[in-house]
Structure 1
Amino acid sequence: MNRTVSIIMGIYNCEDTLGKTIDSIISQTYKNWELVMCDDGSVDKTFDIAKEYVKKDSRIKLIRNSSNMGLAKTLNNCIEISTGDYVLRHDGDDIMLVNRIETQVNYMEANNCDACGSGAYIFDDSGIWGHRQPPAIPSKERMVIKSPFIHPTVIMKKDILIKVGGYSDNELTRQRLEDYDLWIKLFEHKFILHNIQEPLIYFREDRNSYNRRKKRYRINETKARFEACKRLEIPYLKRVFALKPLIAMLIPNNILKFYHNKKSSITFKQEEGNIHG
């Protein structure tokens, strides 16, 4: 079945990466897609670059927020005008492997999933430096320890997104936690959630990003984890893991760096050319 896939992408000040991102979408082996981009008040050439792609490909749609509204509102605006059976997330600085959409659609159909993520290669301007592999079958208990998905790898049935009300837009989710709140809602509704273990995107993340997470972000992340504990009725003994972000604030940076690089390390000789090619 050749279902339409709506790729939703909030774009903001990503003029240096957007072209390569869209090119990776156009090159997909799966052709029945639409790309819905919403510019969230960019002050560089992001919107102009996106407009040029709209002229080149009728499958690409572009809207613009009147002001900077944040990712949750921006993605909801994309969902509102999307027409696909599936909604697939992507970001304006990440790159899809050429078979990403085809692989995820086939997996969704074969396994009757409601949402499905994947692994990811981690890269920055210096090249690929790591790999992330979320659990094959996410569990609500793992929500206390870490996010069950890599947000821009996820594909979902559109009707489940509508059922849970899309992305929540509130004070907490505006702190880069809109995806975590969505996962809570998916678990609350007992949807079928999987992760394909192979990497299907190149996920941009600076290898020193762990060191720039501000105190307020870690506090908000802790709040979100305790919110998950409450809503998902996590056993009290397991709720202690919700304190992990606060504990990270107390660990010296050199130890955090070692742990961060260790958990993401892998050999990528075969993949390096795909990023820079």
Structure 2
Amino acid sequence: MSPLASFVIPVYNGSAYISESIKSCLDSSNKKIEVVVVDDFSTDATVRIVEKMAETDDRVKLIRHGVNMGRSAARNTGIVATSSEILMMLDHDDIALPNRASATIKAFKNNKEVDIVYSQFQIIDELGNVQAKVNVAPFDWEKLKKTKLAYIGHSTMAFRKSVYQMVQYTSGEFCKHAIDDWKFQVDAYQAGLKFMPIRKCLSQYRWIEKKRDEAKILELKNSCLQ
């Protein structure tokens, strides 16, 4: 039976968290899902971990890049490989809560005009302890333009597969500086796609402190807002 929704997980050297992320998808209250994992030429144990999980649950599908192509390319590869019409994005160290798939499927079923949905989420630390909860509001273009990071939590975002015909994830500098999710949201808005918030907590975002080149990020953002 074809899945009703697909999780897409790009991963590079994610052995510390990938099994937890996949398991959270498999534990969805709606079992009619698939989990498409795209390994971007990892050098750690990621592939072995995913292969073992795929052996015990055929809902897990592993795709391997022969060279490192970047997170955006991995996301695009995963999207093309999905078997459903509803695609849920998830980073390899984040968690899908049990009601995410069912709430997402319901939102699209009841709102035919909506292209992209997003939800509330919890912020967790490296050990999985909840640090905060982030609420959502109706989509705000001005806020998206001004925010340093993506206005919408990427691991809460889902869209119809038809969206991919209009918008894809951008590689290169946007991916290198980890704002490819922000660029996707900008491109989707500029393409006239409709966003809708789901006022439920459906995901957990793992906050791991990383150094960021803020000046370069600002330059990249300004380049596509002019």
Query: TM-score, length-normalised on structure 1?
Result: 0.75
Summarize the alignment of residues 100-179 of structure 1 with structure 2, pairs less than 5 Å apart: 100-112=100-112, 113-126=114-127, 127-135=129-137, 137-146=138-147, 147-164=150-167, 166-179=168-181
Shift of 1:228: 4.3
Residue matched to 1:266: none
Letter in 2 for 1:65: H
Distance of 2:50 and 2:28 partners within structure 1: 18
Residue matched to 2:16: 16
Distance of 1:17 and 1:168 partners within structure 2: 25
Residue matched to 1:44: 44
Quick check: which has more Rg, 1 or 2?
Answer: 1
Query: Comparing both structures, which one devotes a greater share of its residues to helix?
Result: 1
After superposition, give the CA deviation of every residue in 1:198-220 in whole Å (9 maximum; x if it has no partner): 221111003xx2xx433xx2122
Q: Which runs of 5+ in 2 are unaligned?
A: none
Shift of 1:3: 6.5
Kept in 1: contact 2:7–2:25 (CA 8 A)? no
Q: Which secondary structure does the structure 2 equivalent of 1:118 belong to? A: strand
Moved over 3 A (4+): none
Summarize the alignment of residues 1-277 of structure 1 with structure 2, pairs less than 5 Å apart: 4-112=4-112, 113-126=114-127, 127-135=129-137, 137-146=138-147, 147-164=150-167, 166-206=168-208, 209=209, 212-214=210-212, 217-230=213-226
Distance of 1:172 and 1:23 partners within structure 2: 29
Shift of 1:102: 0.4
Kept in 1: contact 2:4–2:105 (CA 8 A)? no
Kept in 2: contact 1:143–1:228 (CA 8 A)? no
- The alignment yields a C-alpha RMSD, in angstroms, of 1.7
After superposition, give the CA deviation of every residue in 1:179-213 in whole Å (9 maximum; x if it has no partner): 1111111111111101223221111003xx2xx43
Q: Which secondary structure does the structure 2 equivalent of 1:229 belong to? A: coil
